[in-house]
Amino acid sequence: MMQPFMLRTLILLLSLSWSGSALAADLVSKINIRVIYATKAKVQSVDPLLADIQSELEALPYTKFRQLDKLESDVPINASVELQFPGERSISVRFLGLDVSGDKPMLSLQLKLKPRLNMQLRLADGGRTLLGGPKHLDGTLILDVTAKLKPAHEKTQGNKEKEASRLLEVNR
């Protein structure tokens, strides 16, 4: 027979686990993917659409950068978004959830660059990664992937912001 203390602890753990799972199902990430065409030219130029990452791009071994395509989408947990780009290629980004195992919460993503690359990635909320992509025409494609946790109050009319912060506490 279970001791009363053990029974209360088990019930508490089960209720925390259930509420954490229910909250995790509500997580949504705003995923941005940009396809950038980079070449080596005599004159340096950066597309004005890329002004927010100009310093990162200028550190790369290219001199001309132009945005070819952009996708911005809200992606629920365990769902993915895909963007086709030149050469019968595509990038797929799946939102796997929130990783709270470290010092700060990180968004966990799975990136598939078809036909060859498949990797898991952890990004800080609002963080980005630049991936050197395949050759294209006289240059290279660079993929800019950004992920940000969508605030709870934007997901529904109800106040789930407190619940989202509670989720982080439950998983620690």
Q: Domain locations in the chain?
A: 27-155
Instruction: Judge whether residue 46 has pLDDT over 50.
Output: yes
Instruction: Judge whether residue 82 has pLDDT over 50.
Output: yes
Closest CA to 62 of 145, 117, 132, 128: 132
- Taking residues 18-44, report their average pLDDT: 77
Instruction: Judge whether residue 136 has pLDDT over 70.
Output: yes
Instruction: Judge whether residue 12 has pLDDT over 70.
Output: no
pLDDT at 24: 54
Residue corresponding to tokens 């290629």 = 89
pLDDT at 170: 37
Instruction: Judge whether residue 164 has pLDDT over 90.
Output: no
pTM: 0.70
Helix axes 161-171, 4-24, angle to 10 degrees: 130
User: What's the mean per-residue pLDDT of the chain?
Assistant: 76
- Taking residues 37-64, report their average pLDDT: 94
